[in-house]
Amino acid sequence: MTSTSAHDVALEAVALSKTYASDGQDVAAVRDVDLQVGHGDLMAVMGPSGCGKSTLLHLLGGLARPTTGRALVDGVDLASMSDRELAEVRRTKVGFVFQAFNLVPVLTAAENVALPALIAGRSRAWAEARANELLGAVGLRDRHAQRPKQLSGGEQQRVAIARALVMEPSVLLADEPTGNLDSRTGRDIVQLLLELNQRGQTVVLVTHDVKVAGVAGRLVVMRDGQVQERSRPDAPAAGTPDTIDRLVDIDDAADLPW
């Protein structure tokens, strides 16, 4: 585990475990994970299907409660929170992006982006201004009035990313955000995530694609619910330029050159 001073930690797992009951047996999806994610990090999590990647992400973001251990966001222990308090953390401190875009079909792109801010009690004027700002940031200013069915898959994922950022979260958690996209569109989404990270946004990215994982400064490989971390020695400091050209031409995490 990479050690980070307390005030620099955006996310932390401490002896984090999650066990599910399946056919009368307990199955450990996540086992005794210790992990810190610093502000400004870009970290990829990968591993085979069923290894616990998504469960770990859900625990870190408060979508699931641990069986044992702790998950902390900005030093606040999620396990000690009520459901209402957890919902507030998810609205304000954590942004989620999923493989399925999960946009509301009857709302426009701008309305989808503004929705979490309205739910959180922000004024309509603030929410609309923030939505327009973010749609511009993800290259969709001229598509603000389109509904999801009028957008391409890549455009829908950009709207979903803008929506995840509307409340200025400490961390962006992306679960297979390129999984439903063709390779070229997927590269565009990874480039967008890189650009956001260069502006200081903390990003944790779950992916099956080693080429996508290869752009991250930190890599966590999961096996049977446990993690092994590797760091890219030439990773740039948070907020400094990187490029999609870092996508590596290999097919297995074991062959990563770092």
pTM: 0.85
Name which residue leads in pLDDT, 134 or 231: 134
Q: Backbone phi, then psi, for 44, in 5-degree steps?
A: -105, 145
Closest CA to 160 of 104, 203, 103: 103
Distance of CA 86 to the CA centre of its chain: 17
- Rounded to whole angstroms, how far apart are CA atoms 38 and 30? 21
From edge to edge, which strands make up the β-sheet containing 94-98? 94-98, 171-175, 202-206, 42-46, 218-223, 226-231
Residue 256 reports pLDDT greater than 80: no
Residue 124 reports pLDDT greater than 60: yes
Name which residue leads in pLDDT, 180 or 237: 180
pLDDT band with cut points at 50, 70 and 90 for residue 258: very low
The first and second tokens of residue 120, run together, are 């959180």
Map out the domains of the chain with their CATH numbers: 1-90+202-258 (3.40.50.300)
pLDDT digits (tens, 9 = 90+) for 198-211: 899 999 999 888 77
Distance between start and end Cα atoms, the chain = 16
For residue 233, the model assigns a pLDDT of: 52
